[in-house]
Amino acid sequence: MQGPMGSGTMSGKSELMVFKAGNKTPFNVPPIALSGVALTRVAKFKYLGHWVTDSLSDNMDIERERRSMAVRCNMLARRFARCTKEVKITLFRAYCQSFYTCSLCVDYTQKAYNDLRVQYNNAFRVLMGLGRRCSASGMFAEAHVDGFAAVMRKRCASLRARLCASPNTILVALAERWDSPMLSRWGRLHAHL
């Protein structure tokens, strides 16, 4: 994979990743060079702020999002502690509900996903000054804020709608492919209402 190009040499910013096919890992991968410089083989690569792994697992990126949310929430709670409830809710929606590319996650453990959900719930509690034991569904309902599952469903539905409406026939075909891992995940999200 190649990182963003700058004014330096391209080979200094490029690395090689060989993706696994299920549990199979290719053993004999010949050395690959770019502009005469051998590329370093890596098992993970950060691209546009997101972790890509050779196993195509989304666990590392979900954990990155969880940690990032914890940092953002703590910053908001410190800086805006004296603001009104309405301001805090607006800040929460803006900074804690983005879940950039969450709709593309298809291969992750339930633990990684639950950890992100718990962090989302705790972020709201911390920002609003609520106790750790207060009901997540109750606090979100009272504040008229989407809970974690609702945010995920909306993000996935939005992506699918954009793919289906795209003039790009390849994207439309991917969105409508019934054996797609993304479509399978989107279906599971909507089945757990």
Q: Beta strand pairing status for 15-16 and 44-47?
A: unpaired
Distance CA 51, CA 49 (A): 7
pLDDT per position as a tens digit, 136-169: 999 999 999 999 999 998 988 888 888 889 999 9
Task: Characterise 36 by phi-psi region: left (phi > 0), alpha (psi -120 to 50), beta (else).
Answer: left
Q: What is the pTM of this model?
A: 0.80
Query: In angstroms, how far is the first alpha carbon of the chain from the final one?
Result: 39
Q: Would you list the domain boundaries of the chain? A: 11-53, 59-147
